[in-house]
Structure 1
Amino acid sequence: MQVKEFFDHAISILYPRRCPVCDGIVAAKEGLIHNKCKKIIKFAGTVTCLKCGKPIKNREEEFCSDCRKTKHYFDRGFGVFRYRTISGSIYRFKYSGRKEYADFYAKATGEYLGDLIKGLKADAIIPVPMYRRKQRIRGYNQAEVFADALGDELGIPVRNDVVSRNRNTVPMKVLSASQRRSNLKKAFNISRNDVKFKCIILVDDIYTTGSTIDELAREFRRHGVNRIFFVTLAIGQVV
Structure 2
Amino acid sequence: MRRNLFLDILYPRHCPVCHEITVPWGRKICDTCKDKLKPIYGARCFCCSKPLQRAEQEYCKDCRKTRQFQQGLGIFSYSTLLQNSLFQLKYGKRQEYGTFYGEFAAYYSREKIEKWKIDIIMPIPLHPRRLEKRGYNQAGVLAEALGKKLGIPVDEKNLKRRKNTKPQKELNHRERQKNMKNAFIVRKKLKEENILLVDDIYTTGSTIEEAAKELKKAGAQNIFFLTIAIGADS
The TM-score, its normalising length taken from structure 1, stands at 0.91
Percent identity (aligned): 42
Show the counterpart of 2:75. 80
Counterpart of 2:199 (choices 195, 204, 212) is: 204
User: What is the deviation of 1:237?
Assistant: 2.5
Equivalent pairs, count: 233
Could you tell me whether the CA contact under 8 Å between 2:118 and 2:194 is conserved in 1?
yes
Instruction: Provide the C-alpha distance between the structure 2 equivalents of 1:137 and 1:107, rounded to a whole number of angstroms.
Output: 26
Query: In structure 2, how many angstroms separate the alpha carbons of the residues matched to 1:118 and 1:181?
Result: 31
Cα contact 1:118–1:154 (8 A) shared by 2: no
Letter in 2 for 1:162: N
Contact preservation (8 Å) 2:5, 2:25:
no
Give the letter aligned to residue 225 of structure 1: A
CA contact (8 A) 1:54 1:64 kept: yes
Alignment partners' CA distance in 1, 2:143 and 2:117: 16
Cα separation, 2, equivalents of 1:196 and 1:142: 27
Distance 1:24 1:92 in 2: 13
Deviations 1:145-173 (A, max 9, x none): 11101111211111111111111111111
**Does 1:44 pair with 2:65?**
no
The alpha carbon displacement at 1:118 in A equals: 2.0
Aligned to 1:132: 128
Q: Distance in 1 between matches of 2:213 and 2:29?
A: 37
Instruction: Say if 1:57 and 1:237 are closer, same or farther in 2 by CA, change over 3 A.
Output: same
Partner of 2:103: 107
> Is the Cα contact below 8 Å between 2:101 and 2:228 reproduced in 1?
yes
Residue 12 of structure 1 and its aligned partner are, at CA, apart by: 2.2
Distance 1:169 1:106 in 2: 25
The whole-number CA distance in structure 2 between the counterparts of 1:13 and 1:232 is 32
Q: Secondary structure at the match of 2:75?
A: strand
- For 2:231, the equivalent position in structure 1 comes to 236
Cα deviation, residue 31, structure 1 = 2.2
Distance, in Å, in 1 between the alignment partners of 2:226 and 2:192 is: 17
Q: Does 1:157 align with 2:177?
A: no
Distance 1:208 1:141 in 2: 19
Q: Which runs of 5+ in 1 are unaligned?
A: none
Residues 188-208 of structure 1: per-residue CA shift (max 9 Å, x gap): 110123x42420100001000
Match of 2:220 in 1: 225
Match of 1:26 in 2: 22
CA distance in 2, matches of 1:146, 1:197: 24
Classify the secondary structure of the residue corresponding to 2:195.
strand
Task: Give the superposed CA RMSD.
Answer: 1.7
**SS of alignment partner, residue 108 of structure 1:** helix
Shift in Å at residue 101 of structure 1?
1.1
Cα distance in 2, alignment partners of residues 35 and 133 from structure 1: 38
Partners of 2:23 and 2:158 in 1: how far apart?
38
Find the partner of 2:53 among 44, 53, 57: 57
Q: CA 1:177–1:189 in 2, change beyond 3 Å: closer, same or farther?
A: same
**Paired letter, 1:168:** N
Which residue of structure 1 lines up, in the alignment, with residue 62 of structure 2? 66
* Secondary structure, aligned partner of 1:164: strand
Aligned to 2:30, the other structure's residue is in SS state coil
- TM-superposed CA distance for 1:17, in Å, is 0.8
Q: Deviations over 1:45-83 (max 9, x none)?
A: 242100111011211111112212x33210001001110
Report if aligned partners of 2:120, 2:193 keep a CA contact under 8 Å in 1.
no
